[in-house]
Structure 1
Amino acid sequence: MKDMMRSAMVIARRDFSAVIFTRTFLFFLLGPLLPILIGMAFGGLSEKISNDSLRPAMGLSMPPAQAARMLDAREAIARRIGADHISALKAAPWPADPQQLLARSDAGYAAVVSGSVDRLVLTGQRADIARLEGDVRLIASAAKMRATLPEVRVERNPVALSASGQAQARLTTGRAAQILMFLLTMLLAGMVLSNMVEEKNNKVIEILAAAVPIDAVFLGKLVAMLSMSFIGIFFWAVCALAGMGLLAGPGFALPTPAVGWPVFLLLALLYFAMAYCLLGSLFLGIGAQAATVREVQTLNMPVTMGQMVVFFFATYAVDHMGSAPEIAAAVFPLSSPFAMIARAAQDTALWPHVLALAWQALWVALIIRMGVWLFRRHVLHSGTKRPLFRRRSPPAS
């Protein structure tokens, strides 16, 4: 056992150095940040477009006294419900024909409100009238009632703890941890597949198999890719914290999980390592059997789809703590890391995590052993390579 671990560390250092000290690894670190930046830019743009399209401005062509009442009422409503939730009013020439005002290219509004507070006229296209009529009625009602409707002040009574609010916040933390773990696992574990196929095609795997046990080769490659993944996660976490510090502001605080942040972060790292090793060992076994990159791509899709089904099963179990589906998700090896990290966010007990980590480590060892057995049987058996997909020979005539 000691010799095998020593050999596995030699393989891990070899693969780790071959990946880290390359220029492509820098692009690997920066690659996930570019879609995030582009998504943030397009998200802000789409939100602005959505607000502009859903709440277009209206021109206000009324006598000065009537227009002042409408503008004051609109500002009062905007202070209460937010300026983005009520259409804007822009002063328009008065007296004027509303149709001529809308025909102007520099008008800047989609409809024109004319008449008086007691008798409104809304001029515009049918679709714009249907969208804006409710806002016009609300503003006019506030303008009519402003003299008799006093502004009611609400006394604030904040509390330090709310049981239902805390439970909902912890549920949100668990779901966010699950999604983040799943995305990182699917992003990073797939590299194990191509790594094994390349070394098989280059005959390197045969040299390694002759020098060290196959178990050490599999374990070493898994440790090397996991170590590389931790470097990427550390870099992305630093960037995420820096971005949150710049964008969120000083008052921003994430919901505290049930076990506390230090223990939760430690469990998150351990469960990510287990999820990565479970999926990575499965990918290693597949890559060891595949003879070409095409076979790897063919097998990658069903494995990925199966892992997505497992992830959805784990997310379903989050809302049913202690139920049969949640226990099944915690016991099934591939879904266990995702189910247990959600449990850590909602339950203070630590002993289930010790059992779960030991259970997941056992399955990692079993999957590696199964991959090694298949590799010896189909690839190294009698010095010949047996392809994973074999064509049947036509029957003899």
Structure 2
Amino acid sequence: MSRVRRQLRQALTIARRDFVATVFTPIFLLFLFAPLIMGSFGAIGGLGAASAADSAAQTLRIVAIAPPADSRDLAAADRRLRRLFRTEEAPPELRIVAPTGDPKAQVRALMTDRQEDIIAVLHGPLARPVIAFDAQGRRSAAYLAEVAEQTLRSRTAGNADLSQPTLARTAHAVPRQGGRNQSAFLAVFGVFFLTLFLAGQVVGSMAEERTNKVIEVLAAAVPLESVFLGKLLGMFGVAVLFVGFWTLVLANVAALLPPGAAGEIAALRPAVGFGPFALLFAAYFTMAYLLLGSVFLGVGAQASTAREIQMLSLPITILQVAMFALSSAAASKPGSAVATFAELFPLSSPFAMAGHAASTPDLWPHFAALAWQALWVAIFISVGARLFRRGVLQSGSATGLWLRLFPRAGRTTIDTNVN
């Protein structure tokens, strides 16, 4: 058996060991259903906020003070204009009241009414209406002005609708640029979210085995490169199981979506097509996990305590967010210098190239990008194993990361001067 095959077999053995040790535990069920738990809390909060917003919106009113001669025309103009709005975007309900005397006093009484939240009131002749509104009623005031305008126009042409349009929906032959940009951002966010949620667990895996002295046994029997690769592949197998489970769940949920949702999804069609994009998204998620995981594994291997792992969590999170910000900027400006840099920089390359697949139809750059990213995975694993071999195994596992970085911090100075 060749040396490469032997090391690969050893790595797969360690990967199987880590995979089984992680998956076949009760804690893994909590990890698997963590998105559902977080989504439930988010949904509860969102429903509460939406219910509060709906109840507040239902009490809002706008009022037009008009004589009976204008009431019917104002109501007809209001009905025509409301066709232009979605239900959730429509202005507040219009109520038309007859004038009772002093217009200013009537407006003041209406806007101080505690039974209804009246945010805009129109009064005066329709040719020169006066509209009073509060802080929430600026858009409603503009709407009342348009109602008055359309009322006067309808008197010239009559109240009947003069045109009877026929609406025919057509599909774009090619993806729209706006849909490409949106799908590019969603691709970047999807890879970022999955790696943020899954890759962070790699940090603690090596430190845990340093604590229970297992890593010394593995290092004595297997090359450290195989140990690092095996642990990375084992945790990636856990991530694949997680993603596969939720992909299956979401695919079944998508079958329950209303027919209109399919059209909205079709508008986000990526430039390379849904089939190739799905394969490229899976490939770039794999490379993003392996790249970030190899970096996190190397950094986590230098930590010997839970406190040091906690100290490393913040810079790791900052690094991931920085890569997301860089790749998002690249997705919004395809072909720019920022996009080129993001596609070439190893840690941001999978994110940026996932967005590239959504916005640009060319396929050949992806083969070069995947090879480039695989090269950096090998470099990060090799460098992490070398640092662990020289910095930890030779100096003893009891030395912490902080003391290796700042050796003077662990020294104590004894004052030998005696007065």
Deviates more, 1:277-286 or 1:295-304: 295-304
1:129-164, Cα deviation, whole Å (9 max, x unpaired): 65543222221222222232454455657654366x
Provide the alpha-carbon RMSD of the alignment: 3.1
Deviates more, 1:376-385 or 1:327-336: 376-385
Report if the CA contact (8 A) 1:55-1:88 is conserved.
Answer: no
Which among 23, 28, 48 is matched to residue 25 of structure 1?
A: 28
Equivalent position amino acid for 1:270 in 2: A
Identity of aligned residues (%): 36
Report if the CA contact (8 A) 1:87-1:135 is conserved.
Answer: no
Identify the residue that residue 214 of structure 1 maps to in structure 2: 224
- Determine if the alignment matches structure 1 residue 193 to structure 2 residue 203: yes
**Which structure 1 residue ranges, 4+ long, deviate > 6 Å from structure 2?**
none
Mapped to 1, the partners of 2:215 and 2:357 lie a distance apart of 40
Equivalent position amino acid for 2:172 in 1: L
Mapped to 2, the partners of 1:109 and 1:323 lie a distance apart of 50
How far does residue 94 in structure 1 lie from its aligned partner after superposition?
7.5
User: 1:259 is paired with a residue of what secondary structure?
Assistant: coil
Identify the residue that residue 339 of structure 1 maps to in structure 2: 352
Mapped to 1, the partners of 2:27 and 2:85 lie a distance apart of 50
Give the TM-score of the pair, scaled to structure 2.
0.82
Give the TM-score of the pair, scaled to structure 1.
0.86
User: 2:292 is paired with a residue of what secondary structure?
Assistant: helix
Identify the residue that residue 325 of structure 2 maps to in structure 1: 312
User: 1:89 is paired with a residue of what secondary structure?
Assistant: strand
Which among 366, 377, 385 is matched to residue 353 of structure 1?
A: 366
Mapped to 2, the partners of 1:167 and 1:131 lie a distance apart of 31
Report if the CA contact (8 A) 1:330-1:337 is conserved.
Answer: yes
Identify the residue that residue 73 of structure 1 maps to in structure 2: 77
Mapped to 1, the partners of 2:67 and 2:149 lie a distance apart of 18
Mapped to 2, the partners of 1:111 and 1:326 lie a distance apart of 48
Deviates more, 1:305-314 or 1:86-95: 86-95
How far does residue 263 in structure 1 lie from its aligned partner after superposition?
1.6
Mapped to 2, the partners of 1:93 and 1:106 lie a distance apart of 19
How far does residue 290 in structure 1 lie from its aligned partner after superposition?
0.7
In structure 1, stretches of 5+ residues that fail to align are: none
Which among 104, 116, 127 is matched to residue 135 of structure 2?
A: 127
Do the aligned partners of residues 68 and 239 (structure 1) sit closer, same or farther apart at CA in structure 2, a change above 3 Å counting? farther
User: 1:258 is paired with a residue of what secondary structure?
Assistant: coil
Deviates more, 1:55-64 or 1:377-386: 55-64
How far does residue 308 in structure 1 lie from its aligned partner after superposition?
2.3
Identify the residue that residue 172 of structure 2 maps to in structure 1: 161
1:184-231, Cα deviation, whole Å (9 max, x unpaired): 101111101112211111122222223322222211111111111111
Which among 88, 91, 98 is matched to residue 93 of structure 2?
A: 88
Identify the residue that residue 11 of structure 1 maps to in structure 2: 14
User: 1:90 is paired with a residue of what secondary structure?
Assistant: strand
User: 1:58 is paired with a residue of what secondary structure?
Assistant: strand
Identify the residue that residue 366 of structure 1 maps to in structure 2: 379
Report if the CA contact (8 A) 2:185-2:332 is conserved.
Answer: no
How far does residue 324 in structure 1 lie from its aligned partner after superposition?
3.8
Number of aligned residue pairs: give it: 395
Mapped to 2, the partners of 1:277 and 1:129 lie a distance apart of 53
Mapped to 2, the partners of 1:60 and 1:142 lie a distance apart of 14
Deviates more, 1:205-214 or 1:84-93: 84-93
User: 2:401 is paired with a residue of what secondary structure?
Assistant: coil
Which among 144, 150, 156 is matched to residue 142 of structure 1?
A: 150
How far does residue 370 in structure 1 lie from its aligned partner after superposition?
0.9
Mapped to 2, the partners of 1:157 and 1:248 lie a distance apart of 20
Deviates more, 1:227-236 or 1:148-157: 148-157
Identify the residue that residue 263 of structure 1 maps to in structure 2: 276
Equivalent position amino acid for 2:373 in 1: Q
- Determine if the alignment matches structure 1 residue 229 to structure 2 residue 239: yes
How far does residue 335 in structure 1 lie from its aligned partner after superposition?
1.2
User: 2:362 is paired with a residue of what secondary structure?
Assistant: coil
Do the aligned partners of residues 42 and 312 (structure 1) sit closer, same or farther apart at CA in structure 2, a change above 3 Å counting? same
In structure 2, stretches of 5+ residues that fail to align are: none
What are the equivalent positions in structure 2 for 1:287-306 lying under 5 Å apart?
Answer: 287-306=300-319
User: 1:26 is paired with a residue of what secondary structure?
Assistant: helix
Mapped to 1, the partners of 2:304 and 2:298 lie a distance apart of 12
What are the equivalent positions in structure 2 for 1:268-283 lying under 5 Å apart?
Answer: 268-283=281-296
